[in-house]
Amino acid sequence: MTKKASVTVSHRRLGREFVRKVKELSGQNLQLCYQCGMCTGNCPAAVNMDVSPRRIIELARLGLEEEIAGSKTVWVCASCLACTVNCPRGFDLSKVMEAIRLLALRKNVDRVRPEDVAPEQRCDLPQIAMVSGLRKFTG
């Protein structure tokens, strides 16, 4: 389920713009996490993720932007907030997920374009599905 990878940690990566922006956008203190794994255990989407939610926090605070960008975790996340509600440290992982998504979307790049949704789907889906989906996947 989760990828085992060896990563290089350095001062340069730790002090990166990326780490600062994630903290700013999410308003979360990434140092709070003690990697207990409750988030991954409660996540209904974890089975579809290549990098677990727990690991994403670790990658984020180590400034490993490329590893995060190469994973589909934040795009598979359904913002169900099970992680947030169950975290023993009161850390809001849903906000970190959103911050990582926005850092990509705010470059005016859509993850899913409206025209990628099949026409029959556009008629069939309830409006809240389209509204929320476009919010999370378009810039």
Binding site for another protein (CB under 8 A): 24-27, 44-45, 47-48, 76, 78-82, 84-85, 92, 94-95, 97-99, 102, 111-112, 114-117, 119, 121-138
Nearer to another protein, 56 or 97 (CB): 97
Place of tokens 């990697």: 35
**Distance (Å, rounded) from C-alpha 130 to C-alpha 82?**
22
Nearer to another protein, 65 or 98 (CB): 98
In 10 A of CB 80, how many CB atoms? 13
Residue 71 C-alpha from the chain's centroid: 9
Closest distance to another protein from the beta carbon of 54 (Å):
18
Closest distance to another protein from the beta carbon of 6 (Å):
30
| Tokens found for residue 98 | 């959103």
For the chain, how many residues are written? Answer: 139
Closest distance to another protein from the beta carbon of 55 (Å):
20
- Contact indicator for 50, 12 with CB cutoff of 8 Å: no
Nearer to another protein, 2 or 102 (CB): 102
Closest distance to another protein from the beta carbon of 34 (Å):
20
